[in-house]
Amino acid sequence: MTANFSDADRGRPLATYRPMAAVGCAILAVAIWLVPGAAEWLQFDRGAIAAGEIWRIVSGHLTHWNGDHLLWDVLMFAVLGALVERTSRASFLATTVLSALAISAALWFLQPAQVLYRGLSGIDSALFVFQAIWLAREALSEKRFAASVLPMVALAGFVGKVGYEYASGCTLFVDSAAAGFAPLPLAHVIGGLVGAAVLAAREAATCLTRVDEGPWRQWSARLSR
């Protein structure tokens, strides 16, 4: 199996990273839920952000509306985050941070009526799409076509889930009505796009590294003599 890594990951064998960052973020989300008043101070709040409390752009993703919302979001984040981080910590951090920023930006500019937002589900979507595409690509590159079926079906299921959310106005796993919030499938769409984009950037960087370390480097060395 060929493992692709960024510069920060080069030299580390596949699946040797302990998912400390993913576990740490999951624990932080639970801690915020347990501390009275923390969610209100950290949630995405359009008025507060406009007043200068810009940390809410990122911290809002760690806040949740109720225990059911917290359970599903943190469970998925811990599992998916651990899978991605064990492959590449740099990819996990890039996917998590960039999706958090992109989702908040999309909510700010594309849904101006949205005042409050909480939850890790958009970041979960980014990690899910990253991992599913990565597994499918690895299987196809090794001609293990049967092994590529499951991640492809998972991706199709993700698309269907988002479509269901848009059509029904309900979430598939969390009882949004009981939690007192309206689902925002836009966050899941943006998250999925970011996950795919991070993986594409990683693959492009790997290709450039291979070119740099191959015949082109020898050719360049001859020219520089």
The confidence score (pLDDT) of residue 28 equals 98
Supply the pLDDT for residue 223: 36
Of 205, 193, 48, 26, nearest in space to 116 by CA: 48
Contacts of 145 (CB under 8 A, 6+ apart): 139
DSSP string for 64-92? -SSHHHHHHHHHHHHHHHHHHHHH-HHHH
| Predicted pLDDT at 211 | 58
H or E segment and range at residue 116:
strand 116-117
pLDDT at 210: 62
Q: What is the DSSP letter of 14?
A: T
pLDDT one digit per residue (tens) for the chain, 225 residues: 334 444 444 444 444 678 999 999 999 999 999 999 999 999 999 999 999 999 999 999 999 999 999 999 999 999 999 999 998 999 999 999 999 999 999 999 999 999 999 999 999 999 999 999 999 999 999 999 999 999 999 999 999 999 999 999 998 888 888 878 889 999 999 999 999 999 999 999 888 766 555 554 554 444 334
Q: What is the DSSP-derived secondary structure letter of residue 35? A: S
pLDDT of residue 180: 82
pLDDT at 181: 87
Give backbone dihedrals phi and psi of 116, rounded to 5 degrees, phi first. Answer: -120, 150
107 to 20, 62, 117, 180, 206: CA distances (angstroms) = 29, 16, 9, 18, 32
User: 39, exposed or middle or buried, with CB in 10 Å at 0-12, 13-18, 19+?
Assistant: buried
Domains in the chain with CATH codes? 20-224 (1.20.1540.10)
pLDDT given at position 162? 97
Put simply, whether the predicted model's pTM sits higher than 0.85 gets the answer: yes
Question: What is the rounded distance in angstroms from the CA atom of residue 30 to the CA atom of residue 120?
Answer: 12
